[in-house]
Amino acid sequence: MLELEGVSKSFAAVEAVKNVHLHVRQGEAVGLLGPNGAGKSTLIDMLTTLTKPTAGEIRFEGKPVANQLKPFRNRIGVVPQEIALFQELSAEENLLFFGKLYKLEKAALKQRVAELLDLMELTNRKKEPVRTFSGGMKRRLNLAVALIHKPEYLILDEPTVGIDPHSRRHLLDFIKDLQEHKGLTILYTSHYMEEVEFLCNRIYIVDRGSVIAEGTQSEIKRIISPQSTYELTVAVKTAELKEQLASHEYVQALKETDEGYRIVSAKNNLFPMLLHMVEDSGTTVKGIHIKQPTLEDVFLHLTGRSLRD
């Protein structure tokens, strides 16, 4: 098990991570969900030993990571947010280079490179320089590099940044297969709710350096009632209506959508109130429906902000 116990990290006067407690059991897929700037990457930097905590301790299998740096690094694979590849080398050459850093035996390394190229569907492009690859191909190769030494834990920091939706889904399918069928333990960070929902058994929601919620998807969604999130669509959005909604005592959180507003409330029946407010603002209701909560709704409920604000 990988554990953070009361971990904090400060840079000068800025506390980027504040007293975080987190654990990842072997075989789990755990998500760190939060907006940009929430402290996720700083947490990953500490977990991967790139930077030391200001306070608290990171443990692996019950022992401080600081006392077992080399063995720990050999058992984790890291997929950074930035592409960490040599652009002028081929896919095959990149994998061979990183494999040699782990001192893999020549024959075993050659076989592992072939396996990973096949797994990532890059065999037919293995001799071509990485600079000629699409964003999705580079991301798959980035993942392959992290797997070259057969790690037990795979730590991924926003690995789908900058790729098209098709390539993104393709990469997520690869990652899910690694956890479900190849037994890897996954720690996955993202500000995309749908990625974390698709991949992760257990989730930590992070905001401004702190964990504000933790649990399985169903446990986290129970923070807000299924009857408490409303989708209101109107003929015309007006500043007056938005202001009335935002200031109303029953409205706990408000998010503007393409055609109206998403409203989080502790009240079970807001229909009469919403109809009355829309009428008073001079526009008309196109629809009101109650929706099942998402992780984004929970974040909105807890912080009053969207994950992408």
CATH of the domain at 263: 3.30.70.100
12 and 103 share one domain: yes
Decide if 132 is inside a domain.
yes
Domain count, the chain: 2
Q: Which of 221, 253, 275 is the last residue before a domain boundary?
A: 221
pLDDT digits (tens, 9 = 90+) for 118-173: 999 999 999 999 999 999 999 999 999 999 999 999 999 999 988 889 889 989 99
Residue 309 lies in a domain: no
Domain hosting 156: range is: 2-221
Asked whether residue 76 falls in the same domain as residue 200, the answer is yes
Check whether residue 212 and residue 254 sit in a common domain. no
Q: According to DSSP H, which parts of 182-230 are helical?
A: 193-199, 217-221
Question: Does residue 144 share a domain with residue 20?
Answer: yes
Q: What is the mean pLDDT of the chain?
A: 92
Look-up: residue for tokens 């992408």?
Answer: 308
Q: 207 and 284: one domain?
A: no
Helix/strand/coil (H/E/C) assignment for every residue in 105-166: CHHHHHHHHHHHHHHCCCHHHCCCEHHHCCHHHHHHHHHHHHHCCCCCEEEEECCCCCCCHH
pTM for the complete prediction?
Answer: 0.80
How many Cβ atoms sit within 10 Å of the Cβ of residue 51? Answer: 14
Residue 304 has pLDDT above 80, yes or no: no
Domain CATH number, residue 77? 3.40.50.300
Residues 150 and 246 in one domain: no
pLDDT of residue 265: 84
Residues 6+ apart with CB under 8 A from 17: 7, 8, 9, 39, 42, 43, 46, 53, 209
Query: Would 303 be classed as within a structural domain?
Result: no
- Based on the fold, state whether residues 135 and 59 are members of the same structural domain: yes
Say which residue the tokens 């971990």 belong to: 7
How far is 206 from 190, CA to CA, in rounded Å? Answer: 10
Does 208 or 269 have the greater pLDDT score? 208
Q: Would you say residue 298 lies in a domain?
A: no
Token pair recorded at residue 281:
């603002």
pLDDT of residue 77: 97
Task: Tell me 185's DSSP state.
Answer: E
Whether 270 maps to a domain, the answer reads: yes
In a domain, residue 203? The reply is yes
User: Do 250 and 205 lie in a common domain?
Assistant: no
Residue 95 sits in the same domain as residue 164: yes
Does residue 301 form part of some domain? Answer: no
Flag whether 299 is in a domain.
Answer: no
Do 116 and 157 lie in one domain? The reply is yes
Q: Are residues 111 and 208 located together in one domain of the fold?
A: yes
Of 300, 41, 307, 297, the closest CA to residue 157 belongs to 41
Question: How far apart (Å, rounded) are the C-alpha atoms in residues 125 and 166?
Answer: 19
**pLDDT, tens digit, 9 for 90 and up, residues 263-295:** 888 777 788 889 999 988 888 999 998 877 888
Q: Which of 198, 221, 244 is the last residue of a domain?
A: 221
Q: Within this chain, do residues 62 and 175 fall inside the same structural domain, yes or no?
A: yes
pLDDT in tens, 75-121: 999 999 999 999 999 999 999 999 999 999 999 999 999 999 999 99
Q: Where among 190, 221, 252 does a domain terminate?
A: 221
Instruction: Measure CA 132 to chain center.
Output: 28
